[in-house]
Structure 1
Amino acid sequence: MTSGFHNAHLQTPQIPCLSNPKRAVAHRSSLFPSIFTSPAGFWKVHDLSRISLDFSCKAASSAGAADYNEQMLGSKKKKKSQKIAGIEQDELLDPVELADPDSCFCEFKGVHIHYKVAGEGVEESGANVLSVNQDPSNVNQPSKKRNGFPMVLLHGFGASLFSWDRVLKPLAQCIGSKVIAFDRPAFGLTSRIFNEPKTANSSTQSSGEETDLQPLNPYCMTFSVLTTMYFINLLVAEKIILVGHSAGSLVAVNTYFEAPERVAALILVAPAFAAPLSSPPKLVKENHQETENQANDDGSRSKVGSNPFRKIMNVLSKISTYIALAVTGTLKAIAKIANSLFKKALKSILRTSFAAALIRIVIDKFGIAGVKNAWYDRSQVTDDILKGYTKPLRTKGWDKALLEFVVAMLTDSESESNPPLSQRLKDISCPVLIVTGDTDRLVPSWNAVRVSRAIPGSHLVVIKNCGHLPQEEKAEEFISIVQKFLQKIGGAAEEEEILQTTP
């Protein structure tokens, strides 16, 4: 019996289920009739139980191996945790959890804005700095007497209010008033908001009110300008000084054109926007000369207006002009439609998972290198500085928000009622200081020279042996330059007041 059982055990395949032994035997007899019709008759209950025990052991060992493999795979996954610019991406946090002791938050249009403030009456803890519950539209309230105008600091692309850390308090001491720096949406510790566009029903579409239902994109230029205006009102000051660095200079200039009467002065640090190639006054004179020439031509034509041939040519000229205008208008309409379709296609492409992965790759490969490249002396870039710039990478949704900012930057168009910004620089009438480094690798210093030429009466200072971040790399020299500029415009303002009061 022992040898017979041994042979049967070798010839018997593994049983799928042994919860019902009789059913299992019937199942096997149908598959292997040569075994179960033998006269030996060695299949008994105790034999089946032995097979059952043997299979159970094998199944247990198989399950244990599977668990072990899962544990091994899990451990391998943990070891392969993703890092972006040296920052772990497994456990991202809410911005509030990453706040500093002097961090402050306020809500504007559903976005929690992170800001810091320094100056008179400001506690070190940052608590009770400003009353965010006060009505920011009430800007005519009398403020305390101060030695200077308050300041609002605007950081550039890929940065945060950390870029003003070295000069925040010194500037407050310099002007004798409050200085505020805030994180623009998509940067720093300001909350990341992802609003889906609202759809309008047929009645609103027919009435043309669909645009009113669209939420304001927090990553567009308009939102940054409105946020800046909010902080200007929050300071309860008649006028303030706007200081913009790199792409923040663009926000500062746009805010000026939004409310020029509220801006006492502009300080543009390494401005990252294009200036006109030629100076505006020359263009005005040339246009004026062209107008005079056209007037002379009209006068000469009126003298020969009696000539019939001239009349026919004038009619044909007008007809060709109308045709040219019609063709031009049609081409402009086609170009406008094509531009709209291109922007929609671009938005669809940039909002794919591939684009999001590309953003993460770019930040991982070039983020830290970009910070170091912004300095003239890379050896001055300490670990604390790198931590300050990479800290926002620990916030939830940082990559998606940055992608939305890029989409808004590439697809937003200026208002059709206003000319391009480069053509409006000549209309800036407040005092303007432009500061740049002579070795700026990101925005060359010659661009600051062009911006200075385009703004009448602006002051340009080029700091030697300095890169794209004068307020960090040459903080003391930067403060000194700002102080001299403010003293100069302050003295001019006092002289003007004396002249106005003198009978």
Structure 2
Amino acid sequence: MWKAWLVSLTILALIGAVAVGLGPFLVSTTPLPGLEPARAAATPASRFLVIPFEGTDGVEVHYLAGTTPPGPAVPNFLLLHGFTLNAFTWDELLGFFDGQGHVIAYDQVPYGLSAKLTRLDWAEASPYTREAAVDQLFATMDALGLAQAILVGNSAGGSLALEAALARPERVTALILVSPWVYAQRPTLPPSLADLPQTERLSLFLARRLGQSTALLRRSYADPSRLSDERLALAGVHARVANWDLAWGHLLHQSLTDVVSVSARLPEITQPALVITGDQDRLVPLADTQQAAAALPLSELVVLPGCGHVAHEECPGQVADAVADWLAGLQTTFGSVHVGEFRDAN
């Protein structure tokens, strides 16, 4: 009898191994049909520009802008969204920052309405590495004529802001970080596993599921009932754009070996930083944000009651008040907030 059981278990194990090995190949790499160019999905507020990126013919970036023009008398604010989100996440605060200076919110590649690059679109380094995201940030600033900016980042946009401040500190005047993704880590794999074709197809499968779901955004709110249908539609605007699924698949696949390591270098950041978090954040624990704020040499921490991971969306009034108070304090302590004198003052 035991031999029969052993044979049965062996057969089941073989079937399982075949399923694991061959199952991912059932995921089609044909892009989802019936989708449109990014400009067809644009809103009246949408603007586009093309930035250079080595190995491509240029990368189209979608952005939103306030009405205050750039100039030597006003600070520049560059707003950076989090994982899976886009520039529209800042809609509730765009007017506030417009009242403080010149403001730009852009879609990081391949999110929102920015370029959906596939393997046929680049010849050299992937446009989806963390280093590439930093390069694209400064290329966007260059295209918009911004010599310096205060970087405002939520979640993964916060870690991008920190990496940019380390890479080119002379161009980053200050930091405003909303629940920055610093210590939490994504699952990663050794290159030998990440490079398997099965893994790449699984990344595509997960990208399609993630990009067509509202679950992550709902979890980002302390009270998901605050999410409007309009907000959900704007958060999912990428899913109207041709090749979004392939592009997101490439991004997720890249992330399997692209570790977020900025936490080790936080003490090197000399720019003033405002760190904001909601006390109901279910994605980045409050303790992580407190730790990040403590590691930054010139930081102030504000904890907002009743707010989740995207406090700038869910509690925009509270965020605006915190930012306004902090900016006023910066002007009192350092003078003008747009001339990049903070490092010299210390």
TM-score, structure 1 length as denominator? 0.56
Does the CA-based 8 Å contact 1:243-1:249 persist in structure 2? yes
Give 1:67-466 correspondences, 5 Å limit: 90-108=33-51, 109=53, 110-121=58-69, 144-146=71-73, 148-173=74-99, 175=100, 177-196=101-120, 215-274=124-183, 342-349=190-197, 352-364=200-212, 367-412=213-258, 420-466=261-307
How far does the alpha carbon of each residue in 1:330-385 deviate from its partner, in whole angstroms, 9 at most, with x for none?
Answer: xxxxxxxxx99x31431324654454234323444xx2122222111121111111
- In structure 2, stretches of 5+ residues that fail to align are 1-31, 340-346
| 2:330 paired residue number | 489
Distance 2:121 2:232 in 1: 36
How far does the alpha carbon of each residue in 1:101-121 deviate from its partner, in whole angstroms, 9 at most, with x for none?
Answer: 121111122211111111324
SS in 2 for 1:411: coil
Paired residues, what number? 299
1:227 positional shift:
1.5
Change (3 A) 1:352 1:494: closer
Does the CA-based 8 Å contact 1:350-1:407 persist in structure 2? no
Q: Which amino acid aligns with 2:209?
A: I
Change (3 A) 1:362 1:153: closer
Are positions 1:474 and 2:315 aligned together? yes
1:399 positional shift:
1.4
How far does the alpha carbon of each residue in 1:206-252 deviate from its partner, in whole angstroms, 9 at most, with x for none?
Answer: xxxxxxxx523111111211121123334434431001100011110
Of Structure 1 and Structure 2, the greater helix share is in 1
Distance 1:248 1:348 in 2: 29
User: Aligned Cα RMSD in Å?
Assistant: 2.5
Does the CA-based 8 Å contact 2:149-2:172 persist in structure 1? yes
TM-score, structure 2 length as denominator? 0.80
Does the CA-based 8 Å contact 2:193-2:199 persist in structure 1? no
- Of 262-271 and 102-111, the range deviating more from structure 2: 102-111
How far does the alpha carbon of each residue in 1:434-476 deviate from its partner, in whole angstroms, 9 at most, with x for none?
Answer: 0000000111111110001111131000000001111111111
SS in 2 for 1:442: coil
Q: Which amino acid aligns with 1:384?
A: E
SS in 1 for 2:119: coil
Does the CA-based 8 Å contact 2:49-2:143 persist in structure 1? no
Give 1:19-98 correspondences, 5 Å limit: 90-98=33-41
Distance 2:327 2:201 in 1: 48
Does the CA-based 8 Å contact 2:82-2:156 persist in structure 1? yes
Does the CA-based 8 Å contact 1:246-1:271 persist in structure 2? yes
Q: Which amino acid aligns with 1:172?
A: D
Q: Which amino acid aligns with 2:135?
A: L
Q: Which amino acid aligns with 1:160?
A: N
Distance 1:115 1:168 in 2: 12
How far does the alpha carbon of each residue in 1:254-276 deviate from its partner, in whole angstroms, 9 at most, with x for none?
Answer: 1111111111111111011118x
Q: Which amino acid aligns with 1:356?
A: L
How far does the alpha carbon of each residue in 1:178-214 deviate from its partner, in whole angstroms, 9 at most, with x for none?
Answer: 111111112100111123598xxxxxxxxxxxxxxx5
Distance 2:117 2:155 in 1: 24
- In structure 1, stretches of 5+ residues that fail to align are 1-88, 122-142, 199-213, 276-338, 415-419, 498-503
SS in 2 for 1:429: coil
